[in-house]
Amino acid sequence: MTSDPKPVGVAVLGYGNVGSEVVRIIESSAADLTARIGAPLVLRGIGVRRVNANRGVPIELLTDDIDELVTRDDVDIVVELMGPVEPSRKAILSAIEHGKSVVTANKALLAGSTGELARAAERAHVDLYFEASVAGAIPVIRPLTQSLAGDSVLRVIGIVNGTTNYILSEMETTGADYASALADASTLGYAEADPTADVDGYDAASKAAILASIAFHTTVTADDVYREGITAITTEDFASAQALNCTIKLLALCERIVDEDGREMVSARVYPALVPAAHPLATVGGAFNAVVVEAEAAGRLMFYGQGAGGAPTASAVTGDIVMAARNRVQGGRGPRESKYAQLPIAPIGKVSTRYYVSMDVADRSGVLSAVAAEFANHGVSIAEVRQEGVVADSGERVGARIVVVTHRATEAALADTITALEELDVVANVASVLRLEGTDP
């Protein structure tokens, strides 16, 4: 007679929007989860800062003793949803050292410590899953680590921050300036009280580091990611983008590049960029996320959906819990960290793309030729140029603006060009420099 399978014990650290939703799914879907795993999934405890009776769960499940919870003998899987790098890192390492598999959505921690955590999990022969760390409910990590394990990933490009995508979408569709769009995002709950991590690109940079590490089998940290935010984007930039049949998105880009000496390198960067209307990422609006993966054999794959929020993120977390629990029941292991390639990180100056440059100039003859000469002097080929008058509120023409779109050039060459332009007496200022992604050279 077969005995009943041993339950799989779960401890959840953190009971915010995501943690409470994970607990709800575990409790409400118990029968389905048991059938999928092959054993009951039992909630053993919930780690919180302060224990009180108003949490909507039995108070005996709550504890503020995280250290004790993650080392309990009846806990098999620890789900870390507390947020900050510390004490999360300490709790995860303690859980791993005590033989617990770990599921986390902590992108900031993973972007700096993935290697340390993965090595600890390998030594302890336990699983480390983090599908929810990059794009909420959108499955990206598992396709990269499993579905494309036999392919060679060439490029990963995505919109991975819902707050900035909402702000930029509002600027485009309503004509609002950056400050107004940010205020609207805050009112709707898309932006935090301090939106710095989102609007300055730190959140997206952490996600780019995770994606690049997995896609290219190389250790990439958030510090390796070149980063620019969206705070300098103007309504004039959107008007120019529309004239070029483009929109503007904050992109996370990770790709293999080959330098002038033939060395293969990894580039990871985050910045606002012009995206052609025909590109699949151009239509991703509001707070949605999308990631496009380009692989040698599979070609272009796109993953789209809600990248944040309690329920979507909890869906990805629960999926990881099921995977870890199945491995416990069946005696298997999930994918290990793969960093065999260890390619060098490309400095931003070696990266090649196209550019949009807008500058305010003197309204007189010879200006356009002087500007074009500086691009040519630094080896940056011009694909398109447009000159228009600048009119004051009184209707008087008070200057001119030149918009240049280049062919592909290195960041180093473009930077030298901008420096030279700023030294020209006919250029009042270089108002905006944006990359143009998703086009042919």
Domain containing 29 — which CATH number?
A: 3.40.50.720
Note whether 292 and 237 are same-domain residues.
yes
pLDDT in 10s for each residue of the chain, 441 residues: 456 789 999 999 999 999 999 999 999 999 999 999 999 999 999 999 999 877 789 999 999 999 999 999 999 999 999 988 989 999 999 999 999 999 999 999 999 888 899 999 999 999 999 999 998 889 999 999 999 999 999 999 999 999 999 999 999 999 999 999 999 999 988 888 899 999 999 999 999 999 999 999 999 999 999 999 999 999 999 999 999 999 999 999 999 999 888 899 999 999 999 999 999 999 999 999 999 999 999 999 999 998 878 899 999 999 999 999 999 999 989 888 888 999 999 999 999 999 999 999 998 888 999 999 999 999 999 999 988 766 555 556 667 999 999 999 999 999 999 999 999 999 999 999 999 998 765
Q: Does the annotation place 202 within a ligand binding site?
A: no
- Active-site hit among 6, 90, 100, 207: 207
Quick one: 303 and 325 in the same domain? Answer: no
Report angle CA 293, 295, 300 to the nearest 5 degrees.
55
Q: Is 15 annotated as a binding residue?
A: yes
| pTM over the 0.85 mark | yes
pLDDT at 378: 97
Q: What is the pLDDT of residue 395?
A: 58
Which two three-digit tokens encode residue 313? 């993120």
Q: Residue 1's pLDDT is what? A: 43
In a domain, 427, yes or no: yes
User: Residue 91's Cα: distance from chain center in Å?
Assistant: 24
Q: Is residue 1 assigned to a domain?
A: no
3-state secondary structure 184-239: HHHHCCCCCCCCHHHHCCHHHHHHHHHHHHHHCCCCCCHHHCEECCCCCCCHHHHH
Domain span at 362:
348-436
Q: Answer yes or no: do 66 and 131 share one domain.
A: yes
Nearest to 347 by CA among 415, 408, 273: 415
438 labelled as ligand-binding? no
- List C-alpha distances in Å: 228 to 48, 225, 242, 271, 417: 35, 10, 22, 5, 19
Flag whether 280 is in a domain: yes
Residue 321: C-alpha distances to residues 96, 124, 209, 326 (Å): 15, 18, 23, 9
Tokens 């699949």, located at residue: 280
Q: Is residue 321 part of a domain?
A: yes
Q: Within this chain, do residues 424 and 358 fall inside the same structural domain, yes or no? A: yes
- Go through 268-303 and write b for each residue having 16 or more CB atoms within 10 A of its CB, e for each that does not: bbbbbbbbbeebebbebbebbbbbbbbbeeeeebeb
| Pairwise CA distance, residues 340 & 325, whole Å | 28
Name the domain count of the chain: 3
Same domain (yes/no): 302, 323: no
16 appears as a binding residue in the annotation: yes
Query: What CATH code is carried by the domain that includes residue 150?
Result: 3.30.360.10
Question: What pLDDT, on a 0 to 100 scale, did the predictor assign at position 83?
Answer: 83
Domain match, 235 and 101 both: no
Nearest Cα to Cα of residue 133 among 75, 209, 66, 43: 209
Say if residue 17 carries a ligand binding annotation. yes
Query: How would you label 379-417 residue by residue, b for 16+ Cβ within 10 Å and e otherwise?
Result: ebeeeeeeeeeeeeeeeeeeebbbbbbbeebbbbbbebb
**Do residues 178 and 287 both lie within one domain?**
yes
* Domain boundary residue, one of 299, 330, 361: 330
Nearest to 83, CA basis, from 101, 102, 107: 107
Identify whether 367 is part of a domain. yes
Q: CB of 138 within 8 A of CB of 115?
A: no
In this structure, is residue 341 part of a structural domain? no
One domain, residues 281 and 147: yes
Whether 207 sits among the annotated catalytic residues: the reply is yes
Contacts of 6 (CB under 8 A, 6+ apart): 39
155 in the same domain as 283: yes
Looking at the fold, whether 373 and 387 belong to one and the same domain comes out as yes
Same domain, 128 and 262: no
Side chain identity at 396, as an amino acid letter?
A: E
Task: Give domain status of residue 299, yes or no.
Answer: yes
The answer to whether 292 touches 191, Cβ cutoff 8 Å, is no
Q: Are residues 279 and 183 in the same domain?
A: yes
169 is in an annotated binding site: no
Choose the final residue of a domain: 330, 362, 394. 330
Residue 407's CATH number? 3.30.70.260
Q: Give the angle subtended at the CA of 158 by the CAs of 295 and 169, to the nearest 5°.
A: 150
Q: Among residues 307, 338, 362, which one ends one of the domains?
A: 307
Say if 416 falls within a structural domain: yes
Residues sharing a CB contact under 8 Å with residue 33, sequence separation 6 or more, in sequence order: 26, 41, 322, 325
